[in-house]
Structure 1
């Protein structure tokens, strides 16, 4: 069916090449089991993209300082093709990860078809340089990579570097300032990336921040992709994530922001990342996340 004018097509892309193999690969299955697809009632069956997770290595590549750069590049190429195929069919891709490195495939694919922006909802800046990253996980440097910072094998897929310009990125919900300072991350405050961190949201309210973000949308772009990392949610509501930080959004704030951005008609696709079902023993967190996304789409 069309949900408020959207031909939603769910694409399961559970890659963990940018993180680790301890549970995030089950995100799609858990949210679908919780009723995400059934409640949205997409007219098209869920598509499943083959991963290269079997090639995962926990050894950092000596040239790039990243984990799994070659399989990650190869997977990203296929994911970009899959997203573009859905868009060519006038469908709204709802991509279920996986870790945040799925953005490399999504944004490099979009660069091949036009000029797009990115709404980046995440507790973390994800802006590390590979050599500064403690782990080498591309999931902690994905925003840096899609904006052109990092090794060419990941930043220049299909000669498309950068996949998105700094001033076409809107970052929502960051709360890892102290951690990024401690570990020497690049600082997104020194770029043209538009930012509304958790402090902004707590001080001004989600309604005002949402209105400001909508005003920031560039009418000259072909549209925006929306990235929803579930670690933006408060830990007490969603402890089923890999890295924990105090504070965070609640489900109602997340639903409001997503629904209002969808209402603009400028969002052309949406992804969900990082939720780890292994830390959700009752399935209630998956149910809450699924319900939040469904309500946001239905009220948009």
Structure 2
């Protein structure tokens, strides 16, 4: 497979600084060399341009940095779509999870029926009326499903990008009240950590792949590193205790690879300022390798 690495060092969607270093940290952790060892061809687009928060007005407190996030998302969507059309696999490195508005919009420009597996401690299904923080990284899935502010919803000039019933959230354990109601209303499939504990990650991922990939739909995998327990991934901006273990996360990635349905992947929320000896970026590389074919035997 020809993998094109695309950096999206956006830190406009969250309050805590540091995720803009994430793409560099993941590259520094040996991403390209390890992918080539697996037999993949790798090229690197570099980073798309992202303005610094200090150079931008915050804007509406319920939609912080809306305008620059929209601009970045439009650019990223174009790069991802062009990558897929050239028969390359886009591997997009964040950056906070607002990045996925651009990455998935680009995927859906090529694959209209894509399903999404969203591995995350959070639902990211807030809208302007429900958000407790105004941080847009918590509104991305809802926007992709056609809910929320028109500027977010209409990236690329069309909406919705995703059928909510083709979205599967895995590992959730921190959902806002208004967000919970929206997830139920729009019939998004949510597997919480309680369900991972009860049924096991293998059963949950089988369900996720079946739902997201039904009727032979391609799958986009969005991996937020805060889905893992903070003991495994300390360098994230919004850690929540009780997350996926090291082996659970690896098995989840291995199962997505085994499905042969994944057409694109993004990895987000590596915050190097909060990390210890680049541990979270090193783990991100390990999980990317599992998702792209590395096996124990």
TM (norm. structure 1) is 0.89
Summarize deviations over 1:156-191 as a string: whole Å, max 9, x none.
1233211101011011110014xx13xx43531332
CA distance in 2, matches of 1:277, 1:34: 12
The alignment covers a number of residue pairs equal to: 289
1:14 aligns with 2:14: no
Native 8 Å contact 1:83 1:109 kept in 2: yes
Native 8 Å contact 2:235 2:274 kept in 1: yes
Structure 2 counterpart SS, 1:12: strand
Native 8 Å contact 1:255 1:293 kept in 2: no
Q: Which residue of 1 aligns with 2:80?
A: 83
How has the CA–CA distance of structure 1 residues 173 and 58 changed in structure 2, closer, same or farther, with 3 Å as cutoff?
Answer: farther
Q: 1:127 aligns with which of 120, 125, 128?
A: 125
Stretches of structure 2 lacking an aligned partner (at least 5 in a row): none
Structure 2 counterpart SS, 1:298: coil
Native 8 Å contact 1:122 1:231 kept in 2: yes
Q: Which residue of 2 aligns with 1:3?
A: none
CA distance in 2, matches of 1:160, 1:273: 25
TM (norm. structure 2) is 0.90
Q: 1:150 aligns with which of 134, 144, 148?
A: 148
| Residue 247 (structure 1) shift | 0.1
1:94 aligns with 2:88: no
| Residue 21 (structure 1) shift | 6.3
Q: Which residue of 1 aligns with 2:60?
A: 61
| Residue 57 (structure 1) shift | 3.8
CA distance in 1, matches of 2:244, 2:252: 10
Q: 2:67 aligns with which of 45, 70, 80?
A: 70
1:35 aligns with 2:36: no
CA distance in 2, matches of 1:190, 1:76: 26
Q: Where in structure 2 are the equivalents of 1:150-229 lying within 5 Å?
A: 150-177=148-175, 180-181=176-177, 184-187=178-181, 188-220=183-215, 222-229=217-224
CA distance in 1, matches of 2:266, 2:283: 16
C-alpha RMSD of the superposition: 1.9
Structure 2 counterpart SS, 1:254: helix
Summarize deviations over 1:32-74 as a string: whole Å, max 9, x none.
1111121012523311232232365462327xx3112111111
Stretches of structure 1 lacking an aligned partner (at least 5 in a row): 1-5
Q: Which residue of 1 aligns with 2:235?
A: 240
Native 8 Å contact 1:9 1:45 kept in 2: yes
1:108 aligns with 2:105: yes
